[in-house]
A and B are shown apart, each in its own frame.
Chain A
Amino acid sequence: DAKTTQPPSMDCAEGRAANLPCNHSTISGNEYVYWYRQIHSQGPQYIIHGLKNNETNEMASLIITEDRKSSTLILPHATLRDTAVYYCIVSLSGAGSYQLTFGKGTKLSVIP
């Protein structure tokens, strides 16, 4: 899997948008960008994934640059419960290709 680079930590005011960047300059054409988060002492939780196009679901939006070398996860209205470590992962998809390699992630602290 390609490596990713994320800032180690970020703060965000409650109610504001949280924008978490990720660099994945060596991503290959058939690799997806996945975002997971891990709240303290829990298992990771899937947030969103994308290949080329921007994606949105009930949790977040994912913006992928045209050259696919970087992406941004957007939590539109951060709450205290969004405080967690956010992992950006690039991985092949499809049967038998589910291995996820976790980096150090970004520790997001939502401030009241």
Chain B
Amino acid sequence: GAVVSQHPSWVICKSGTSVKIECRSLDFQATTMFWYRQFPKQSLMLMATSNEGSKATYEQGVEKDKFLINHASLTLSTLTVTSAHPEDSSFYICSAPQGPYEQYFGPGTRLTVT
């Protein structure tokens, strides 16, 4: 199946700093990518839809100025967590659809804010 990668796989940052997470579709192009967040022992929650060449669409309750999304090419979307705080510590996962049915997920990025 198709491959989606994320970088870094884990990151620790200090409170108040920003951190960028990359999501790449390695063997296919994706005009749309999705960003999810997963807290411990909870399910995935969709944060935003990343659209190549246009603004991202954020889910209700997700601060667009805090979670900056850039989808600059057909294979790369980035999520920047600005002014991170401990409550932003979570598992961030991206996904990209390939074809009309299947969606491929990255391995996730574990963010810890100290």
Contacts and interface: CB of A to CB of B under 8 A. Distances in A.
Contacts of A104: 43
B97 interface: yes
A98 B1 contact: no
A32 B104 CA distance: 17
Contacts of A41: 91, 108, 110
A102 B95 CA distance: 13
Given A99-B46, A99-B49, A103-B43, A46 B103 contact: yes
Contact of B1 (A43, A46, A49, A105): A46
A42 B32 CA distance: 21
Given A32-B101, A42-B107, A46-B104, A101 B93 contact: no
A101 B43 CA distance: 10
Contacts of B6: 43
Contact of B32 (A36, A96, A102): A96
10 contacts: A34-B101, A36-B105, A41-B110, A43-B6, A43-B108, A46-B103, A87-B43, A98-B34, A100-B34, A100-B95
Given A41-B91, A43-B107, A46-B102, 18 more contacts: A32-B101, A34-B101, A41-B108, A42-B108, A43-B6, A43-B95, A43-B105, A43-B106, A44-B95, A46-B1, A93-B101, A98-B32, A98-B34, A100-B46, A102-B44, A103-B43, A104-B43, A105-B43
